[in-house]
Amino acid sequence: MQRTSKRFKEVKSLVEPKQYTLEEAINLLKQTSTAKFVESSEVHFCLNLNPKYADQQLRATVALPHGTGRNIRVVAITSSDSSLKANEIGAERIGSEDLIEAINTGYTDFDVLIAEPDMMPKIAKLGRVLGPKGLMPSPKAGTVTKDIVGAIQEFKRGKLEYRVDKTGIVHINFGKVDFPIIQLQENFSTVFKSIMQNKPTGVKGKYLKKLYICSTMGPSIELDYSIL
């Protein structure tokens, strides 16, 4: 049986069984972040979605105004005659058939994979490797594009891809806990607007059911989203 640490019990006792305003919740998130490293700030949207239906799937991108605080590792698959060099545009690696083969044999040391449209037929065979990790390039996510340089720069600056999981929940990192409160508020508000604007057409009834934030190792804090 999983044991709850003394640290977690102490910080969980600070969270009351109620819905908090955004400012209250972020202040509390900072108080309950007591791990020995700088934790991330996470938001979890519990949505009235069943992604097994095509019109209830949710996959989109959002550009955080203050980034995530993480170093996003980006690699790109381009045509063999491309002159792009990874070290010149900030990517971890750029390649063609060689990179496809490396991924096929286990290389997944990256957070975002960007690809030129013409390379997608060759990348299709990587579905079994990339699919479970959520790394397969997609036009909807902005990771299939002819503008490789622009896409790399956007993701490096704080652009995120998100998608609903099989239980109808979207999990998003909206910054580090040590960000100033105003930056966390602005990042959160940007994410919230994106989720609401990308509401799938197949939603029946209430779209957003519950909304929580937490730090990486902290307890969940419920928000009153009716006043956002």
pLDDT tens digits, residue range 91-132?
999 999 999 999 999 999 999 999 999 999 999 999 999 988
C-alpha to C-alpha distance for 189 and 29, rounded to whole angstroms: 16
Q: At what angle do helices 22-31 and 181-197 cross, to 10 degrees?
A: 120
The per-residue pLDDT for 227 is: 86
E strand spans, 14-117: 40-47, 59-63, 74-77, 93-95, 112-115
Taking the CA atoms of residue 191, residue 212, residue 41 and residue 157 in that order, the dihedral angle to the nearest 10 degrees is -10
Domains and CATH numbers, the chain: 16-67+160-227 (3.30.190.20), 74-157 (3.40.50.790)
Q: Of 216, 213, 168, nearest to 43 (Cα)? A: 213
The per-residue pLDDT for 228 is: 83
C-alpha to C-alpha distance for 173 and 29, rounded to whole angstroms: 13
When computed from its CA atoms, the radius of gyration of the chain, rounded to whole angstroms, is: 19
- Which residues does the chain have with pLDDT short of 70? 1-2
The per-residue pLDDT for 95 is: 95
Nearest-5° Cα angle at 120, 114 to 122: 115
For 191, other C-beta atoms within 10 Å of its C-beta total 21
The per-residue pLDDT for 2 is: 61
Do the Cβ atoms of 191 and 24 come closer than 8 Å?
Answer: no
C-alpha to C-alpha distance for 160 and 228, rounded to whole angstroms: 21
C-alpha to C-alpha distance for 6 and 196, rounded to whole angstroms: 37
